[in-house]
Structure 1
């Protein structure tokens, strides 16, 4: 793309007089220009610019939302499409993208779309709700596939280098043991070692009867952490050594423990937004504690308490005094780059709660350290 065409696409329709013959009039970029103007032309309206009226023309038919989506996905690379869809939803409030089933089916399933669906959960009805559920399942399964192997390996044990296993698992391959075992099959004439028997290390399994309570803030700013918490709960619930309880809260508390094995069902019951009463949620979780010495409570929140800070400090202090292991996460997602109330977090740290921002893999490593 030459610089003139690039500038024409950046500047939009009002560049026609200054850049004649560039992208707007070139058959190669006219469709791109029209697709971008369908979205970013709203910027002019938002700034109070009056729509210009002109003579009739032989321009193509006006884009509709569905045809615009098709155009965008056909004309631009995938990473650009995701940025455009994000701007449409977040900057220009085009919520019809996720409230019309035909349109929703054309969107690329990704975490950004999942976050938007969770935000608008209360507005999804009928057919669009079923489409949304399929999207949620697809994104969650992809996220779980990326996380599950490493988290399970971290939590279920390290290699036992003194015993071998009949299970042929690639990560457990014992290269040196395999060579030693097959030295008698060395073919001197060909200078090659013939492998008759492959050795694999056995994996130690930790049988730790720990209860894991995930207490998750579902206020709007915590969307990514809510998603990762649901996936993490599903992975932990699949490990027999753990009992998982998951609670989400805003100014109300919802116990989703009955769905801890199913991240999709958990997320479909989340409603992002509203106020934040962390103390109430912590007090509820305290009622779920059966054996304090074998309980870990993970509080996932931005620590922006809407109720009495003193009540929250008191509730956390009581759990710490009961010897419940406590960690407060300002973020549980792939970035670990949170914005949170540092003063409140410091007060809770003084009560005995560890404070961090972690990826799911790092949380798994922390759990291993705590329960070892």
Structure 2
């Protein structure tokens, strides 16, 4: 986002510059300004300076610490948020974020909430760590329940034209059977069939026989995608006939396949940050392939290769030649939007890897198409 010099100075100087500079901030920057003021206006109190309340309901006494935490996480990039969080705990002793588990229990069950819970694990005392884990597990269970229904609907059924279904879903509508059933309802005046008996196809369960390898970038910008990937892997591993393997990478590669039955433990073991060597990770995944034509590799990354691209491109070319199906996922989250290296994504697509940013339900549908 491009800002004028005036806007940058206004954000730097804070609300007390309004009188001289005027209100020059847009709506999003006003929210950032309020979040920064909520935290750093405490500095005046530390120095014995009394400050007046803000307008528009932004008085720090009206905002709860957890409201601020969620707002700051949404408004600022990860490195800035980590700094704000550290200042909140270390400099201004906002220990209510860690000491009262009830403030966490009313949060929405979402990857953002889970990410925040996990980020406080190393700062809480042992008793609070156990409580945060308990709440995090509740969040995981709720997200898993939603994901499981999406995945099962997409992956475990195919339409059966020979069996009628009482489930009247547009996805199961059988146009041919409906026309046949209503041929006697021809309206000569309007020259069309009046369909009063609609027909729908049942879905019959099918047995899958595939290996799905999730290759997940664990850099800080991919946190929410990593959370969804871990939960998705847990769901997929429960399907009959599907073998799931999961690999995390930065400049190192870690195989976490043995932890898929415990997503919380897996996520707690993740060390975010570091560089990115996608080629190294994809080469490792290549070594996991046993039946190429029955294997899907889903690379979940922003495609910002920190190493030279030659190894990555060569590996993807070999996998495509071997008939391994490859999906490149720039984001796996509820928004389906991502900031990624479009040039690299274009090169990967040219070598046979379909690339997109997806919501979890869209990923499940896409995976179903591939497995068919």
Q: Do both proteins adopt the same fold according to a TM-score greater than 0.5, normalized to the shorter chain?
A: yes
CA distance in structure 1 between the partners assigned to 2:116 and 2:95 by the alignment: 8
Residue 13 to residue 207, structure 1, CA distance change in 2 (3 Å): closer
Residue 163 to residue 38, structure 1, CA distance change in 2 (3 Å): closer
Aligned position for 1:220:
220
Aligned position for 1:163:
163
Residue 37 to residue 328, structure 1, CA distance change in 2 (3 Å): closer
CA distance in structure 2 between the partners assigned to 1:152 and 1:221 by the alignment: 29
Which segment is superposed worse, 109-118 or 300-309? Answer: 109-118
Larger Rg: 1
SS in 2 for 1:153: helix
Whether the 8 Å contact between 1:210 and 1:295 is mirrored in structure 2 is: yes
Residue 86 to residue 97, structure 1, CA distance change in 2 (3 Å): farther
CA distance in structure 1 between the partners assigned to 2:226 and 2:95 by the alignment: 20
CA distance in structure 2 between the partners assigned to 1:252 and 1:105 by the alignment: 38
- The equivalent position to 2:37 in structure 1, one of 40, 50, 56, is 40
Aligned position for 2:6:
none
Deviation at 1:84, TM superposition (A): 2.0
Aligned position for 1:271:
271
Map 1:250-329 to 2 at 5 A.
250-329=250-329
CA distance in structure 1 between the partners assigned to 2:312 and 2:35 by the alignment: 48
Map 1:83-98 to 2 at 5 A.
83-87=67-71, 90=81, 92-93=84-85, 94-95=88-89
SS in 2 for 1:280: helix
CA distance in structure 2 between the partners assigned to 1:53 and 1:371 by the alignment: 65
Which segment is superposed worse, 251-260 or 117-126? Answer: 117-126
SS in 2 for 1:296: strand
Deviation at 1:353, TM superposition (A): 0.8
Aligned pairs, number: 297
Aligned position for 1:364:
364
Whether the 8 Å contact between 2:327 and 2:355 is mirrored in structure 1 is: yes
CA distance in structure 2 between the partners assigned to 1:123 and 1:292 by the alignment: 45
Map 1:64-213 to 2 at 5 A.
72=63, 83-87=67-71, 90=81, 92-93=84-85, 94-95=88-89, 101-107=98-104, 108-110=106-108, 111-119=111-119, 126-163=126-163, 202-213=202-213
Whether the 8 Å contact between 1:119 and 1:272 is mirrored in structure 2 is: no
Aligned position for 1:335:
335
Give the unaligned 5+ runs of structure 1. 1-11, 16-35, 55-67, 74-80, 181-199
Whether the 8 Å contact between 1:101 and 1:131 is mirrored in structure 2 is: no
Deviation at 1:72, TM superposition (A): 4.7
Give the unaligned 5+ runs of structure 2. 1-13, 18-32, 51-59, 74-80, 182-199
SS in 1 for 2:84: coil
Q: Calculate the TM-score normalised by the size of structure 1.
A: 0.68
CA distance in structure 1 between the partners assigned to 2:144 and 2:260 by the alignment: 14
SS in 1 for 2:230: helix
Whether the 8 Å contact between 2:66 and 2:103 is mirrored in structure 1 is: no
The one-character-per-residue Cα deviations of 1:112-169 (angstroms, maximum 9, x if unpaired) are: 232234456655673343223222212212212222212201101134352368xx98
Deviation at 1:348, TM superposition (A): 1.4
SS in 1 for 2:329: strand
Deviation at 1:14, TM superposition (A): 7.3
Deviation at 1:325, TM superposition (A): 0.5
Deviation at 1:327, TM superposition (A): 0.8
The one-character-per-residue Cα deviations of 1:272-319 (angstroms, maximum 9, x if unpaired) are: 222211111111111111100100000000111111211111222221
Deviation at 1:349, TM superposition (A): 1.4
Q: Calculate the TM-score normalised by the size of structure 2.
A: 0.68
